[in-house]
Homo-oligomer: A and B are copies of this chain.
Amino acid sequence: MLNVAVIGFGTVGSGVCELLTNNADIIEKNAGEKINLKYICDIREFPDSPFADKMVKDFEIIANDPTVDVVVETMGGRGAAYKFTTMALEKGKSVVTSNKEIVAYCGVELMQKAEANGARYLFEASTGGAIPALTPIAQCLSANRISRIAGILNGTTNYILTNMFTHGKSYDTALSEAQAKGYAEKDPTADVEGFDTCRKICILGAIMSDCLVCPDDVKVTGISKITRKDVEAAESFGCKIKLLGVAEMCGEKLSLEVSPYCIADNVPLYGIEDVFNGIMVDTDAAGTVMFYGRGAGKLPTASAVVSDIIDIAARKGAKSQFAPWKDGKDMLAKDEREFAYLMRVGGDVADFEKKFNICAHITEENVVAFVTDKFNAEEYNSFCKILEERGYSVISSYKVFA
């Protein structure tokens, strides 16, 4: 029997308790032993919960109970979650988390602490929700050199962008609808400005390179400035705009970026719509592989948490699927990659095509949209300068994902 304590009885924590109860038979079969939910720790009262008899308010009770094998941290943040995770690992208890913030900021230290104490630190649920991603990448693509991981990693922003494309909504309307449906929070900043995606792509980057870059060091652009006109320009070239987290090896270094990209319909991520997430992995032997599913939600996230608990039971004595991470502070590449750009440019658009020898769509009065040749950062800046010198103003510009 494996004894589990859940800390943080919010959406995900209560989902984990529900799933451990409802699917106890199949979980026991796959774990090879019974998984017993022994404690739930939360400072709030839940007198009417079917789990009321398991509630404790003091984490010390869990930390000091030697029969607790696994602590499930579904609190979020880096305050109490960090303190309790550290305490649990130091007592040799394995920790499973859905908390992307703590993994992205403290993963190196917490993995080392787990290793030093003969425990495991697992976080499949932190990235891609229900989607099996971190474990399959580390374990099933283990014979490959991975050159790039690109993902639609945030369901809220993908829902908003899908709504703008498919139903012609403005950004503000699409955001309001996402809030009304409970897909976006009242303060949507972390989602729409790309910070949530950033934490996840830092974790994926670490799976790829064994180096964890701090999310604060990554250039992040969100979706709040995307307009209907940008959407229409992308559509006129058969493309969509999607918010991507991209981690790419540049020699020994790692490029990390969160940005809205223009995506053509031959890219597998093109078809990932609504609240779904997709994680695309480019490798040398397997080619391109993609994982698709629900990136958030109570039971989808609980599915990933519980699969990690089962893994702890079933893999006793086995090597972790993850190589130990190093601090990636010197790992970030100066970005020298080349991209084509989808641009919208204002000015005297007559003869624009001829002047620049480029296919351009006049999308509104005095505005053209076009896709450039491939430029590196310097060439792109030179091109923008030329446009400016000839009296044009760049209204918007999106890298084309290829």
Contacts and interface: CB of A to CB of B under 8 A. Distances in A.
Contact of A319 (B138, B143, B314): B314
15 contacts: A26-B144, A132-B137, A135-B136, A135-B140, A143-B302, A285-B303, A286-B303, A287-B299, A288-B294, A290-B292, A291-B291, A314-B318, A314-B319, A314-B321, A317-B317
B135 A307 contact: no
Contacts of A136: 132, 135-136, 140
B268 A285 contact: no
A316 B315 CA distance: 9
Interface residues of A, number: 57
A3 interface: no
Interface string A19-40: 1000100110111100000000
State the copy count for this chain. 2
A299 B286 contact: yes
Interface in A285-327: 285-294, 297, 299-300, 302-304, 306-307, 309-311, 314-319, 321, 323
B307 A23 contact: no
A179 interface: no
A233 B145 CA distance: 44
A220 interface: no
A317 to B, nearest CB: 4
A142 B30 contact: yes
